[in-house]
Amino acid sequence: RAAEPTSSSATALQVLQRIFGYDSFRGDQQEIVEHVIGGGDALVLMPTGGGKSLCYQIPALVRPGTGVVVSPLIALMQDQVDALNELGVRAGFLNSTQSYEQRRATEAAFRAGELDLLYLAPERLRLDSTTVLLDRGEVSLFAIDEAHCVAQWGHDFRPDYLALSVLHERWPAVPRIALTATATPATRQEIATRLELTGARHFVADFDRPNIQYRIVPKNDPRKQLLQLLRTEHAGDSGIVYRLSRSEVERTAEFLVNNGIPALPYHAGLDKEVRAAHQSRFLREDGLVMVATIAFGMGIDKPDVRFVAHLDLPKSVEGYYQETGRAGRDGLPSTAWMAYGLQDVVQQRKLIELSEGDEAHRRTQSRHLDAMLALCETVECRRVRLLAYFGQEATACGNCDTCLAPPKSWDGTVAAQKLLSTVVRLDRERNQKFGAGQIIDILRGKKTAKVAQFRHDALSVFGVGADLSDHEWRGVIRQLLAQRLLAVEGDYGTLVLTESSKEVLRRENPRQVLLRTDTARAGSPREKATK
Ligand code: ADP
């Protein structure tokens, strides 16, 4: 549906200035706001911190009726509504955390036309009572926040979002605006289709966050590496540290505190009160480090987060981008730092293999992981790779680790052949499979107890890889896994060949394997060994 011409600009600007206290619109905001005020549908892609909220809040204030906002961020609704009330905007919410009386009061206010904005949890729309309610009041627009949650094979799928197609069917005349910070061109298409937003205008913002410096380093001793980063570059700064497991969250927070850095844990296993208390301390206080699982961060608006550190590999580029995007919302220089190693690849592949869901789901997860690994292993500009993932072209940024210290690559074909043929021999001659540790010991010719036990020193490949260190071999394995020239299997992470491994092992014209040289850094096992 096309927007009707309106003279809404003056009104929209007045609302921006008088109610929200800002001088001017940012980026595409004005165009989006006018389009929606005019009754047009919109799909808005804007990075975290870009200012999506005003895109529906202002039209909701200008158009007659109540703007209905569907949001999965139930924990934040109270805060959002409080903040709006403070500005004099009449806002309310309906979700499962409320008492019956609170809900009744909000519903009555909506019916009486006394609300500018009504926030709804998506599961509410499955209830007949909600549809009946919405029919009894006047809806000015539907805003669908975090719209990527409708993408079935996206990284954040919520089944309740599928029910949102009812909005268009039941209230075809009400404009809809879907917003998200994370969407590849494919996900964008899926959002448009599933929400029946086919006629909507797309507003795609610049996804680049030039003030964020992206760095990905080999993982040796992640907690120590983190400590060094904080001490040398981010002393006294606020930041977020992401870990995969709850126990690592606890341990890492404790480690930082023991080393004199104020830190708090946050994960879904903590009591609701504890989580809320930690979150509000993080928002209020300066120089606090939040160590968290990905349960933390959606909707968090703290402008001066100076660093986001990942100590484990995220599952997808979309997740990584969203998490790192919480750094530097104020536009000042900030760091997105990640330590990543062989064990991350093994673990993530294993998680996918063991995950519930069908084959198609596993394939999607694998695709996400492959894209993430490609970003980790690239020798090109990180920003170029990252933006390309979101369908945006860019030139080398000069402000990421690969631009600042271009990594060298080396021809790892022979190393890969040695490694792959060790895996082949163990399998063919002994009918055995082993994990990375034992394979490396064989390659390096180490006479360990386990080597003696299995008589692996009798293999013809024993010691053929003595020219590389343990650390270097781990880098080789990690990269072969990333390039799918090697795979892991089962609970113990045993190494097995893939279809493509054969191309490397071919006698004639073997496939060339280009590997990235891992730069040794302070605290790496290699440096310690030579001291
Ligand atoms: P998003 O939802 O895209 O992550 P928000 O809507 O929460 O972003 O906005 C991020 C921050 O930017 C908020 O603090 C908001 O008040 C501020 N902001 C948004 N638009 C403007 C503007 N036009 N001028 C100044 N500040 C703005």
d(CA 460, CA 356): 41
Count Cα atoms within 13 angstroms, Cβ side, for 65: 18
Q: pLDDT band for position 187 (50/70/90)?
A: confident
Per-residue pLDDT, averaged over 21-41, amounts to 94
Nearest to 218 by CA among 341, 380, 322: 341
Q: Which of 14, 19, 20 has the most ligand 1 atoms within 8 A of CB, as the residue to mutate? A: 20
Ligand 1 centroid from CA 180, angstroms: 14
Q: Does residue 93 contact residue 81 with C-beta atoms inside 8 Å?
A: yes
Closest ligand 1 atom to Cα of 29:
23
With DSSP H G I counted as helix, E B as strand and the rest as coil, what are the percentages for the chain, rounded to 5? 45, 15, 40
Overall average pLDDT of the 198-221 stretch: 93
Nearest atom (ligand 1) to Cα of 53: 6
Selected residue with higher pLDDT from 41 and 150: 41
Q: How far is the CA of 211 from the centre of ligand 1 (A)?
A: 17
CA of 485 to the centre of ligand 1 (A): 45
- What spacing in Å lies between the alpha carbon of 29 and ligand 1's midpoint? 10
CA-nearest residue for atom 16, ligand 1, is 51
Residue 468 has a pLDDT of 96
ipTM: 0.98
Q: Would you give the distance in Å from CA 314 to the centre of its chain?
A: 7
Digit-coded pLDDT (tens) for 158-174: 888 888 888 989 999 99
Ligand 1 centroid–CA 115 distance in Å is: 22
| Residues 268 and 250: beta-carbon distance below 8 Å | no
Which is nearest to 478 in space by CA: 386, 299, 348? 348
Give the mean pLDDT of the chain. 90
Per-residue pLDDT tens for 321-378? 989 999 998 999 999 999 999 999 999 988 888 888 788 788 888 888 999 999 999 9
User: Where is average pLDDT lowest: 90-104, 243-257, 324-338, 482-496?
Assistant: 482-496
Minimal-distance CA residue to ligand 1 atom 27: 51
Q: How is 18-78 classified by DSSP, letter by letter?
A: HTT--SS--TTHHHHHHHHHTT--EEEE--TTS--HHHHHHHHHHSSSEEEEE-S-HHHHH
Quick one: CA dihedral 229, 234, 236, 241, positive or negative?
A: negative
Q: Which of 28, 301, 321 to mutate to test the pocket of ligand 1 (most atoms within 8 A of CB)?
A: 301
Q: Which ligand 1 atom is nearest residue 25's CA?
A: 23
Atom number, ligand 1, closest to the C-alpha of residue 26: 23
pLDDT classification of 81: cutoffs 50, 70, 90: very high
pLDDT tens per residue across span 474-498: 999 999 998 889 998 877 789 999 9
Give the residues surrounding ligand 1 with Cβ less than 6 Å away.
22, 25-26, 29, 46, 48-54, 301
Looking at the CA of residue 181, tell me the nearest atom of ligand 1: 3
For the chain, report the end-to-end CA distance as a whole number of angstroms: 70
Asked whether the beta carbons of 121 and 74 are under 8 A apart, the reply is yes
* Ligand 1 centroid to residue 45 C-alpha, Å: 14
Nearest partner of 238 among 215, 219, 264, judged by Cα:
264
Cα of 125 to ligand 1 centre, how many Å?
Answer: 27
CB atoms within 10 A of CB 101: 8
pLDDT score of 433: 94
Residue 301 CA, ligand 1 centroid: distance in Å: 9
Residue identifier of the C-alpha nearest atom 12 of ligand 1: 51
Percent of the chain with pLDDT over 70: 95
Q: What is the pLDDT of residue 324?
A: 95
**Pair of tokens at residue 299:** 């909707």
Q: Is the pLDDT of residue 531 over 70?
A: no
**For residues 475 and 515, is the Cβ–Cβ distance under 8 A?**
yes
CA of 35 to the centre of ligand 1 (A): 19
